[in-house]
Structure 1
Amino acid sequence: MCKGFGSTLIGPALQWYNNLPFRFISSFAILSDNFVEQFASSRHLERISDGLYEILQHRAEPLRGYIASFNQEKVAIPRYNIPTAISAFKRGLLPDGDLYKELTKYHCKAMENVLSRAWAHVKWEEDVASLTKAQLKRDPKGVRSDRTEREERPSPRPTMNSGNRSRGIYQNRPIEKGERMAAST
């Protein structure tokens, strides 16, 4: 049986078998014990829930990225412990973040509740980022210089007190084509 064992091996295992000293193996039990001892570290270890504590949100990482990496690791665990997953998710968050504070104040017993709160914060985070981006596109330096020029010269448009009260707060807004037609009829 020991002689046929070598024909079932490939790669590093076959190389190990071929390099065994002559008459080193006297029984199949000794061969199998040595084989397991040699290649036990090559075995895939099953992931456990405690591995979730290793996932941390980095300072510049958006919440969406942290949730994605946490979920990717969580689904790789066949039988994860829900309280451990919730605790690991909370501990991986930035401690000065709003979601961390919320999860600390309001204890969640289900992972779905934690993730729904997290996705609400993702939406808020992305809305704030898009508003900030839109404001930066307006070029505030150019707007400020226009304002100083406008304040120095008188406005040619009628003001609220000049008898054109129908336009209300939109007095400085240009009249659209459709509005001109409606105003003339």
Structure 2
Amino acid sequence: MPHVPQYDGTTDLVDHLETFRTMILLHGASDGFLCRAFPTTLMGVGRDWYSRLKPNSIDNFEEFGEDLVRYFMSSRRPQKTAASLMALRQEDGESLKAFVIRFNREALQVPNLDPSAATNTLLPGAKSNELRRALALRNPHSLDDLMAGAEEYISVEETLVALDTNRKRTFEE
């Protein structure tokens, strides 16, 4: 059986269930096997919950997972929203590139993120007016397009800084 980290009731259970399901289904296991094998991934309060189940009270793995998720609802990771991206701001001393990478990492956690919402949350968070202008002109149609536009801008900015540095060095010599 593939190794799946144990669940102790403190992490995201839905993520744990999906990891387990994916790993086991890759090996062609049946629903019955999923139900019998899953308890081996439980420890602590997760195992306690399982030990209190009445025999034959679960008919399939989907029902098993739903019951488990209901019980451990408080440990579920809150789902990110476009509104949560509004709080992201480029920090003092943080490069534009690092900010865009951080923004993208957060944006990828927002299900069905609308491209205009992504743009409208990235632009106020960035300190660069030039980036805002470049992305507004691009009018991105997807998160991928938004990130590609930001990367293009950053690449140009880094190239210009390198050229200026080389010119200064040549001038000083």
Counterpart AA for 2:99? Y
Distance across 1 between alignment mates of 2:108 and 2:121: 14
Runs of 5+ in structure 1 lacking a partner? Answer: 1-7, 17-31, 144-185
Distance across 2 between alignment mates of 1:128 and 1:107: 20
Q: Which of 115, 133, 139 is the aligned partner of 1:108?
A: 139
Alignment of 1:28-107 (within 5 A): 36=71, 39-94=72-127, 96-104=128-136, 106=137
How far 1:80 moved relative to its partner? 1.8
How far 1:107 moved relative to its partner? 7.1
How far 1:88 moved relative to its partner? 0.7
Distance across 2 between alignment mates of 1:69 and 1:87: 16
How far 1:87 moved relative to its partner? 0.7
For residues 146-185 of structure 1, the C-alpha deviation after alignment (integer angstroms, 9 at most, x for no partner) is xxxxxxxxxxxxxxxxxxxxxxxxxxxxxxxxxxxxxxxx
Name the structure 2 match of 1:147: none
Please report the TM-score for the alignment, with normalisation by the length of structure 2.
0.50
Q: Percent identity?
A: 20
How far 1:68 moved relative to its partner? 1.5
Higher relative contact order (CA 8 A, sep 6+): 2
Counterpart AA for 2:155? K
Q: Which of 125, 130, 145 is the aligned partner of 2:157?
A: 125
Counterpart AA for 1:114? L
Cα contact 1:52–1:73 (8 A) shared by 2: yes
Cα distance change of structure 1 residues 14 and 123 upon mapping to structure 2, 3 Å threshold: closer
How far 1:98 moved relative to its partner? 0.7
Paired residues, what number? 116
Cα contact 1:48–1:79 (8 A) shared by 2: no
